[in-house]
Amino acid sequence: MRKWILSVIVTVIATATALFTTTKAQMPTAQPDGSFYDLQTTSLTGKPAPLSAYKGKVTLVVNTASKCGYTPQYAGLQKLHDEMKDKGFSVLGFPSNDFGGQEPGAAEEIATFCQRNYGVTFPMFSKLVTKAGPEQSPIYTYLGGTGHLPAWNFSKYVIGKDGRVRAFFPSKVAPDDPVLRKAIAEALAS
């Protein structure tokens, strides 16, 4: 019971923080060395997935969760992916159980949930840790080098064709938000 109450308090504080965060693009305060596309990861099916496959494309990196109030954003992310995939763009989903334990499932459960409920076809990768610390994924170590780490599920990074972080958006910024779409369009034009 005590653990549940603590979880509810953490969820309420994080949600309130996300609600009062600005919706404008948050530009990197620093740029980490190298390129996002130099990193390696694993697909949701367990196969090696070098991010170099996306070099020359613009990507939207999102930390996802299946049991979050923002989970319906999967529909908008899929729509965005479908609409722009032929323009050199891709959404990249990185499941994480860091916030409120809202992604407890194994890889197969996550894949089934995303496909069945939201028709997700954009690339999804193995569950990882976004929070700073010894368990943090190298992907989020790199992204955090910009001065921005997710405060909750469905935070978004626009990555340019060169693998550099162009902008960061908090969870409340939906996939159809004009400011997010503008940042993607600008990255595609450069």
Could you give the residue numbers annotated as active site? 117
Residues sharing a CB contact under 8 Å with residue 148, sequence separation 6 or more, in sequence order: 26, 28, 29, 155, 157, 168
CA dihedral defined by 154, 68, 23, 160, rounded to 10 degrees?
10
Question: Rounded to whole angstroms, how far apart are CA atoms 156 and 78?
Answer: 14
Which helix or strand (DSSP H or E) is residue 50 part of?
A: strand 48-50
- For strands 48-50 and 58-64, give the pairing: unpaired
